[in-house]
Amino acid sequence: MAFIVISSAERQARWRTRRTADIEALRAATTKAELALAQAENYLLHQRVLDLENALACRESAAKSAQTKAASEVAHLKQKNEELQFKLRQMWDWYNNEITKAGGLTFKAGSLIAKALHPDTKPSEEVRLEAFKAFSAWKGDRDAAKRR
């Protein structure tokens, strides 16, 4: 067997070449691993963004739904209020009509007369005149009701 004699410089050059090749292979593997890691991290962050966007959309949808529900409830209550006010006006008109038919004093006429006769204040001439007109109208209606 023959030994090949190489100089120290040649041995170092071969070693450096192998070492450089090993380092380049490690760098390539490391770069691929870092790239794969970055891509995986990017994918996870992208999924997180999508999840957060979905959660935000759900919250906005729920908020809009709640606003819509509240608005419809307000509209319903306003409608109900208008209906009840209409009924109240009808009942009030019916009540005043029945009181007048029976010869009774309407609330408005009674209020005018009570205001004019209140002992704590001295009524103006205008208030007294209105009260007198209301009393005269009531007296005429009462007499007509008795004649029926």
- pLDDT digits over 95-138, tens only? 888 877 777 787 888 888 888 888 888 888 898 899 989 888 87
Contact 111, 130 (CB under 8 A): no
- Is-contact 86 93, C-beta < 8 A? no
Radius of gyration over alpha carbons of the chain, in Å?
50
CA pair distance 134, 143, nearest whole angstrom: 14
Q: Which residue has the tokens 């208030």?
A: 127
Per-residue pLDDT of the chain (148 residues; tens, 9 = 90+): 566 778 888 889 889 999 999 999 999 889 999 999 999 999 999 999 999 999 999 999 888 888 888 899 999 999 999 999 999 999 988 988 887 777 778 788 888 888 888 888 888 889 889 998 988 887 877 666 665 5
Check: CB of residue 103 under 8 Å from CB of residue 145: yes
